[in-house]
Amino acid sequence: MRWTPGGRGNIDDKRGRSGGVGAVSMGIGGVLVLLVLSWFTGVDFLSLVGNQTPSSYETSGTGGAVAASPEEEKLVDFVDAVMEDTQQTWEKLLGGQYQRTRAVLFRDAVQSTCGLAQSAVGPFYCPGDRRVYLDLNLFNELHNRFRAPGDFAQAYVLAHEVGHHVQALTGVEARVRQQQSGDPRARNELSVRMELQADCYAGVWGHSAAQQGRAQQGKVELDPDDLEEGLRAASAIGDDTIQKRSNGHVMPDKFTHGTSAQRVEWFRRGFDSGDPRSCDTFQ
């Protein structure tokens, strides 16, 4: 990938804050249960609690200067560049319907309107405050734990979360949550469809970034081998692959994001078409 550092206008940097949370509205016990489930399944259960504002919490953390290596600061610039480019693509596709989001960078734990989240839950989008949340250590996890190296693998994850933002803006997220409440038995199936659509939306951005000559305009431009990195990442984080790695067996009734094959298929569909209309996973 070729990209140019910007002014970090797409970043809310909370890496310099330390500390934890005393009590949240769901209760700390409930939070811990969700964290354990997220760790063993690779699924962000905290983001599934919906638009929930904590009734009370105490933060023991403090703001401060960020102690970071030059390599980490380059990652911050990378996240900012991908977020900027992805959002420019969606502004072009959706016009005035698109409203910008930001990536909240944190270390260890963060408080959002969706509740307390620790790094173990992975990146997530919170519809309550319409922000993308990310611990930069995720990129090491992609390389080492999930064996999905490469800068476009990292960009795919960010573009997927922006895809959830698009779903919030277009009303898909609200409709899915309403359907899940009305039919709890369909909760996982609907979650899978929503996650696969976000994969497809990530591919839609990838299609735009693959166009030649963009680097000369200061935009993100993919190299010829970047697509393979994205497909490898999509495959590495399928529900079946994660469950095999964590538990040694596959539990289809527990799927919430889709199989590796499904994630690859829908990402590739968006990448090949560049058209969000090709991403209707609810048909």
Quick check: helix, strand or coil at residue 38? helix
Band (pLDDT 50/70/90 cuts) for residue 64 is low
155 found inside a domain: yes
6 found inside a domain: no
User: If we measure between CA atoms, which residue out of 202, 188, 90 comes closest to residue 155?
Assistant: 202
Band (pLDDT 50/70/90 cuts) for residue 53 is very low
pTM score, whole prediction? 0.84
Q: Cα(107)–Cα(228) distance, rounded to whole angstroms?
A: 29
Q: Cα(99)–Cα(166) distance, rounded to whole angstroms?
A: 9
109 found inside a domain: yes
Q: What percent of the chain has pLDDT over 90?
A: 78
> Is there a contact between 200 and 158 (Cβ–Cβ < 8 Å)?
no
228 found inside a domain: yes
Tell me which residue range forms the domain holding 261.
11-279
pLDDT at position 17 is 75
Q: In what order do the strands lie in the sheet with 124-126?
A: 11-13, 103-105, 131-134, 124-126
Structural domain total, the chain: 1
pLDDT single digits (tens) 128-168: 999 999 999 999 999 999 999 999 999 999 999 999 999 99
Quick check: helix, strand or coil at residue 61? coil
2 found inside a domain: no
- Residue 215 is classified by DSSP as G
